[in-house]
Amino acid sequence: MNKARNILVIYTGGTIGMIKDVHTGILAPFDFSQLRKQIPELNQLSANVTAVSFEKPIDSSNMDLEHWQQLAKTIGDNYELYDGFVILHGSDTMSYTASALSFMLKNLSKPVILTGSQLPIGVVRTDGKENIITTIEIASEYRDGVPVVSEVAIYFEYQLYRGNRTYKYNAEHFEAFRSPNYPTLAEAGVQIKFNIPALRQPQGGEFSVQLEMENKIAVLTLFPGISRHIVEAATRIKDNKVLIVRTFGSGNAMTHSWFLELLRGAINDGLIVINVSQCRAGGVSQGRYETSAQLEKMGVISAGDMMIEAAITKSMHLLGSGLKGASFKEAFTTNLSGELTAPEVKLTS
């Protein structure tokens, strides 16, 4: 018989933790110390579940660097006490949090899985109960004393995804997330089937937490007809260090002389400019077409097939590490936590 695993559940806020007050009918966060009362099915799992909550649960739209640091520190402080970690989180910014944690938790060798719901746990048709139960099951899955999952992941509507490869694509359906550039890690049906080749293996080394993040980052989304003063303002933001430019298709942008001159001048002045495609599947192939060749020549950094969520949080992480210039570029274009597909890697879907 498998050993009962110790799982720490961390509630940050969001839809999943809401129940309806019997007197007012208003949805409000429930007491997570009473988690088993709300979900009695947990008593049937072979896991010892401990639940903690943010002192003031937040809507995930208010998620910030301080909250990521609080989560990372909580995991770090309890890393030796628990076999796995489950984070209950609002779905709107879940991909950002998962991406941030994937960089902050160094040499992770235990599961850290985020989940949430589209309907509150206090609603009859909620998707929250299944999401919590299965996430705890996955976090408890060990084979020969080794966790099956040893990375930051997101579980939602029967699918387990690599966290820094996801984005939220649907605000209404239970199937709220997609991972277009990386295979699903597991699928929950009658049994939970793990896609073993796609799972990230422990990287070795001692586990540690890097809390430092720097948010001197701006995002510029290109569109046909964008005016010069918008691009000029984006490249001249006071004290900004990174500008992420969301380009067309495989990393293409207009070739107007004023546009290229503004980017070139900003790069020469020390601004780090990153090319991320507006397309949610595929990625940047900078230099493939004439419309991106100029970007390559002037030193714009290609994000490859990274999600915008991963590109933003990775930039914050690298700035927090004190990297700049060539060292930033080298680290950004290196696959640190499974967020980037190296050209030679072939994956099964």
For the annotated catalytic residues, the residue numbers are 15
Residues 6+ apart with CB under 8 A from 195: 183, 184, 185, 186, 187, 348
Distance, in Å, from the CA atom of 124 to the CA atom of 143, rounded to the nearest integer, reads 35
179 burial (CB, 10 Å; 0-12 / 13-18 / 19+) is buried
Sole residue written with tokens 């004393």: 145
Strand 146-147, strand 142-143: pairing:
antiparallel
Helix (H, G, I), strand (E, B) or coil at 272: strand
Q: Are 295 and 243 in contact (CB under 8 A)?
A: no
Sign of CA dihedral 312, 315, 321, 322: negative
Fill in the DSSP letter of residue 3.
Answer: P
User: Residue 219's CB: how many other CB atoms inside 10 A?
Assistant: 15
Q: Are 176 and 157 in contact (CB under 8 A)?
A: yes
Helix (H, G, I), strand (E, B) or coil at 190: coil
Single-letter amino acid code for the residue at 62: N
- Cα 35 from chain centroid (whole Å): 25
Name which of 289, 282, 232, 220 is nearest 260 in CA terms. 232
Give backbone dihedrals phi and psi of 226, rounded to 5 degrees, phi first. -60, 140
Sign of CA dihedral 193, 195, 199, 202: positive
